[in-house]
Amino acid sequence: MKRRNFLKGFLSLPGLLGIDTASKFIEEERAFKTIHTQANAKNWEIYLKRKESKYEPKEGSYGVLFDATKCIGCRRCEWACNEWNKNPNQPIENFERSRFEINSVFEKIRRPSAGAFTVVNRFDVDGKVIYVKKQCMHCLDPACASSCFVGAFTRTEEGAVIYNPTVCVGCRYCMVACPFDIPAYEYYDPLTPQVTKCTMCFDRMVEGKVPACVAVCSADALKFGKREELLKLAYKLIADNPHRYYPKVYGEDDFGGTSWLYLSPVPFEKIGLPTGLKKSPAVYTRNYLFAVKVLEILASPVLVYLAYKAMSKKGKDEE
């Protein structure tokens, strides 16, 4: 047994979470069970090949502008995301009719999961129905990257934050650090789980294509382009339609700035977006989480070593 695989399994045992917590997540994720979500590994491999080829990206990073005043809750973006990333999926009609059903997915606020990188939630604000897409925000200074002591997260020059599953040990610090509650975990696999999240369709971007969710949106609620150009467009929309929009672009400087930008008819906290912090959470997580990791390293080597030896001995006995 390789030490990395052992450590990965050791850190991800449901027992470390507590039986009740582990059971809850396992039940929620079971519907998405696959061998592994392949999209993150695929995008990481593409990134490495481009890096090795010494590719020089165009100046300026990309982003997506989401307009909550235009989203109609059809959830076609969810379907397209699943389809492109080869995640478990349903016929597109099942997604589209959700907004008309009484007991639909909109009855509760959802977050991305191991088998679904994006979700659309519904908010009722002062009698107005507002649909809001949720996915990785692809922060300019990502807290997931700063909290990961093995360097499993990287922000590309294009703006996408991608994940390397081959070095991840399953500590889940990224899940704690992310202010948007984005990284998901394959709890259904207790031995070799992976963290999963939206890749911003990095694999499509490098081919000159827009993300799958943007390509399928028929309501014009999603626009892809250079981040700086999207900011200009967003503020022009606000200036031209002051009664339509809340006078701010979410993501411009929130949490240090994000590649995904939001326009809304109401204050952002009313549609589920965290507010109140301009600095990147990375500023706060770096020292704290690394201090915790140092403590773990100093306190647990004997336990880890003994457990490893015991499992190795068991493996030899079985042979």
- 23 lies in the same domain as 162: yes
User: Which pLDDT score, from 0 to 100, does residue 55 have?
Assistant: 77
Residues 6+ apart with CB under 8 A from 282: 139, 141, 142, 143, 145, 146, 147, 177, 256
Arithmetic mean of pLDDT, 133-139: 99
Q: What total of structural domains would you count in the chain?
A: 2
pLDDT exceeding 90 applies to what percent of the chain? 68
Q: How far apart are CA 63 and CA 137, in angstroms?
A: 9
- 176 lies in the same domain as 294: no
CATH number at residue 166: 3.30.70.20
- 138 lies in the same domain as 259: yes
- 120 lies in the same domain as 258: yes
Tell me: the pLDDT tens digits for 239-252?
A: 999 999 999 999 99
- 148 lies in the same domain as 210: yes
- 136 lies in the same domain as 107: yes
Tell me: the pLDDT tens digits for 92-117?
A: 999 999 999 988 999 999 999 999 99
Arithmetic mean of pLDDT, 25-43: 64
- 221 lies in the same domain as 293: no
Arithmetic mean of pLDDT, 116-120: 98
Per-residue pLDDT band at 297 (split at 50, 70, 90): low
- 309 lies in the same domain as 236: no
Q: How crowded is residue 93: how many other Cβ atoms within 10 Å of its Cβ?
A: 8
Six-digit token pair at 230?
């999207």
Closest by CA position to 112, among listed 130, 147, 138:
138
Q: How far apart are CA 17 and CA 183, in angstroms?
A: 16
Q: How far apart are CA 202 and CA 116, in angstroms?
A: 16
- 124 lies in the same domain as 160: yes
Q: Is a pLDDT exceeding 60 seen at residue 141? A: yes
- 150 lies in the same domain as 290: no
Closest by CA position to 121, among listed 108, 135, 104, 102:
108
CB 55, CB 157: distance < 8 Å: no
Per-residue pLDDT band at 30 (split at 50, 70, 90): very low
- 262 lies in the same domain as 297: no
- 147 lies in the same domain as 290: no
Kindly report which listed range (176-180, 269-273, 283-287) carries the lowest average pLDDT score.
283-287
Q: Is 201 helix (H, G, I), strand (E, B) or coil?
A: coil
State the residue range of the domain holding 93. Answer: 3-283
